[in-house]
Amino acid sequence: MKKAPRVEPGRPSRVDWHDRIDATIKANFDRIVKLRRHLHTHPEPSHEELATSLHLYQQFSELKLPVRMGPEGRGVIVDSRDDGQSSQGRRLALRADCDALRIADEKQVAYRSQVAGIMHACGHDAHSAILFGAVVALDELTQQGGLPVPVQWRAIFQPAEETCCGAHEMTAAGAIEGVEAILALHVDPTRLTGTIGVRPGIFTASCDDMRLVIHGRGGHGARPHLSKDPIGAAAQLISTLYQFVPRATDSQDAVVVSIGQIRGGENPNVIPETVELAGTLRTLDLAVREQVIDQICALSKGVEEITGTKIEVRFEASIPSVYNDLQLNSLVGRTADEMLGPDQLEVLSRPSMGSEDFAVYLDHVPGVMFRLGCAADPSVAPGLHTPLFDVDEQCLAIGANLLARCVVEWAIG
């Protein structure tokens, strides 16, 4: 690992460069908000982020920054300028996601989604705008000689986070080649704007996509005794999983099994041939995960026997836990403390049972993710993945400022 550069004589003092980042982000705040609102108005779901990616690409192309598209025209990778000095430093990656969800936007705001049934309900539009703001500040101050050291960074705007595919795609496309570490944030509507949540070690749960296909024998709704009803088996299976997985797991081991999708049947008076269930399994411990997978298979066998159906169990895409590097977590915490004050920084007592494919990058380089408060009033703010979700846009400046400062602190070492 290359030695980090020291603050150079003639370069701005700590107070000076902090003030310059603050002023630069303030001067560009309208641009940051404009980008966020554009993305919120024109959302694209996972695997369809073509216009989103092109719009982001054009923003950085206009700044004449080194920028390239991700695979299949989805996602964007931006690098700091190679000025002969920054190349001597360590490269830190900053990652944002840019895909939306299949949820109808019910907000009555000027920037509400114009795409029926699609909205940014998880804050990925905010993440992209925050990263844009950090990049603009770092680039402008680098060109002005306004930073205490040369900095080298990479901005990754990732597609398909919601389907746990995007990080794999961007990694395969070389997004973290030459990178020594990576940072990311996630907006948090349970947290007041201006506050930060950090946690060393395990930050999120692992997540396995689970698919259960129940094969029965269809028939007339009036004569269920002549069929092997997969809908009845599906109801029994869901009830069994929800009741007996928790009862067979140590109460101190976190496990969440959720069924989020049921597909089966075309007519109200016809018993179908098959029913398909899709859901997730979330755990914090690898041994517990394997134990629960075995139990789900065993419970499915039991339901097969009592219903006369055949149940196919598949575990498909799998995302490990996000594990926050201790030194990088400390860097974020120190930087947030200095920027916002100690009362605005919380060390989270336990991990989230949500999952994040940011974990995929951490199989290659150390990294850290933190929570960014985005609610003017957390007591009434709609939650993530809900039709009324929104952010207090003041959080955009705070997030951009904090990311930019972290890049400089990383370069100082």
H or E element in which residue 388 lies: none
pLDDT at residue number 8: 58
Q: Give the residue from 410, 1, 364, 406 showing the smallest Cα distance to 177.
A: 364
What is the DSSP code (8-state) at residue 224?
G
Q: Give the residue from 34, 43, 205, 57 showing the smallest Cα distance to 124.
A: 43
What is the DSSP code (8-state) at residue 384?
T
**Which residue positions in the chain have pLDDT lower than 70?**
1-11, 83-89
End-to-end CA distance of the chain: give it in Å, rounded. 12
pLDDT at residue number 305: 97
Q: Is the pTM of this model over 0.75?
A: yes
Strand partners, 228: 217
Identify the structural domains of the chain with CATH numbers, from first to last.
14-204+321-412 (3.40.630.10), 206-319 (3.30.70.360)
Alpha-carbon distances of 149 from 92, 96, 298, 338, 408, rounded to whole Å: 14, 24, 59, 19, 7
pLDDT in tens, 3-12: 444 555 566 7
Pairing of strands 274-283, 206-215: antiparallel
Phi-psi label, residue 153: left if phi above 0, alpha if psi -120 to 50, beta otherwise: beta
Kindly report the CA angle at 94 between 181 and 12, in degrees rounded to 5? 90
pLDDT at residue number 82: 81
Q: Which residues contact 305 (CB under 8 A, 6 or more apart)?
A: none
pLDDT at residue number 32: 98
Q: Which residues contact 34 (CB under 8 A, 6 or more apart)?
A: none
pLDDT at residue number 2: 41
Q: Give the residue from 329, 3, 60, 81 showing the smallest Cα distance to 183.
A: 329
What are the strands, taking DSSP E only, across 243-296? 255-263, 270-271, 274-283
Spatial contact of 44 and 99, defined as CB atoms under 8 Å apart:
yes
DSSP 103-159: ------STT---STT-B--SSHHHHHHHHHHHHHHHHHHHHHT-SSS--EEEEEEES
